[in-house]
Structure 1
Amino acid sequence: MKKICVSLLILLFTFTPSALAHTGLESSVPQDGEVITENISTLSLTFNTTIEDTSTFKVTKESGLEISLAEHIVKEKEMVGTLSSPLQDGTYIVTWKIIGEDGHPIEKSYSFSVVTSTETVQELSEPPVATEKNNSTSSPDQDIIYQNQTSNSNAIMVTSVVLLMVIALGTTFWLLKRGKN
């Protein structure tokens, strides 16, 4: 009986840290704010944890025109998209939607520019400004609500873990005391 209680405690501590971690973008090709001077055929996004197969991303021109992808692959921590045709000069926004290892849906975006002609270099004298949102129509109030929900979720998770530990310890002591009688 003692071995079962110890095993339960070990399992409880083993799975707790991963439940509290949030998935984020670790790297991308092209990178946020990067100016590409040559044609590229693929875009790659790498995350810091495994992502669900249903995760997606889209590429839109700054004007809002969506760029079609010939292929979209999700494998463990990485999403790769193959472009249907070369990108024209301009600024592009990559918006990704994932469900990370922690089960939380996350949506954010970043931008990069393509400059293959000398005329466009003069037009884009400043690098594009990166945007990070939880969704494309979010307002500052919605961002605060999202942050509060995330904080509340973390507090609930920590409280649940502590409660489970107290129950496990109480059960262990009760079983040990019962075994002595």
Structure 2
Amino acid sequence: MIKGLGGIILKRFITTAAAVLLSTTISYNVFAHSNLSGSNPADGEVVTEPLNEITLEFEGQIEQGSFIDVTSSSGQAVEIKDIIIGDGTLTGTVAEPLPNDDYQVNWSIISEDGHPLEGEFTFTVNAPETETEEAVSAEASETPKAVEETTEADNQSTEAQEGAVAEEAEAESSSTTTILIVVLLIVAIVSGLFFFRKRK
């Protein structure tokens, strides 16, 4: 009886120990996988101030080789100046504030246990334009108008030149016709005089 009871207790002890060990292992793996816990800007956020850096925060440590890349709404890649790996953070900096647009951030990290993780999120920049940006925009909008005016002026100049050439050609043609008529009249008169003299 005592022997049977001891076997039951031993089995329960082994089962409990295995469950505790399994739970500890799962908890460690979840912690070590360094899942994304937040970001600045946040997913879907509309940024209304100049933005020079993007920071991702993770639940655990991340290793060297982790990176982010950013693309605009047109699919053009944004040049990342520096990648900074901190204490559970990954920061990407850009040389100049991002212009107003929609952006997608793709991140790829190596977690503390060596497993790779990746993900993505989006945000929008809608910051007030600076005087320099407004001047560039105004200049860009005025440039087509200036080109159009220059083209129109060139067309008018070309038309005027063509008109002058046509008038000159017409005048030359008229002069040539007049000279030809005069020559024919002289020939006719000389021929007539010669004919009448010959008959006499």
Matched AA of 1:53: Q
Q: 1:62 maps to which residue? A: 73
Percent identity of equivalent pairs: 35
Contact 1:20/1:102 (<8 A) preserved:
no
Higher RCO (C-alpha under 8 Å, 6+ residues apart): 1
Q: Confirm whether residue 51 of structure 1 aligns to residue 62 of structure 2.
A: yes
Higher helix fraction: Structure 1 or Structure 2? 2
CA distance in 1 between partners of 2:24 and 2:86 (Å): 23
Q: 2:185 maps to which residue? A: none
What whole-Å deviation, never above 9, does each CA across 1:111-149 have from its counterpart, x for those lacking one? 00011259xxxxxxxxxxxxxxxxxxxxxxxxxxxxxxx
CA distance in 1 between partners of 2:29 and 2:40 (Å): 28
Q: How many residues align?
A: 108
**TM-score, normalised with respect to structure 2:** 0.49
* Larger Rg over CA atoms: 2
What does residue range 34-45 of structure 1 map to in structure 2 within 5 Å? 34-45=45-56
Structure 2 spans left out of the alignment, 5+ residues: 1-16, 130-200
Matched AA of 2:65: T
- SS of 1:69's partner is coil
Pairwise CA distance, 1:59: 1.0
Instruction: Give RMSD over aligned pairs.
Output: 2.3
Higher strand fraction: Structure 1 or Structure 2? 1
- SS of 2:68's partner is strand
- SS of 2:81's partner is strand
Matched AA of 1:95: N
Return structure 1 stretches of 4+ with deviation > 4 angstroms.
12-15
Q: 1:20 to 1:82 in 2, by over 3 A?
A: closer
Pairwise CA distance, 1:102: 3.2
Q: 1:15 to 1:114 in 2, by over 3 A?
A: same
Contact 1:53/1:75 (<8 A) preserved:
no
> Which residue among 114, 122, 139 is the counterpart of 1:111?
122
Contact 1:33/1:113 (<8 A) preserved:
yes
- SS of 1:102's partner is coil
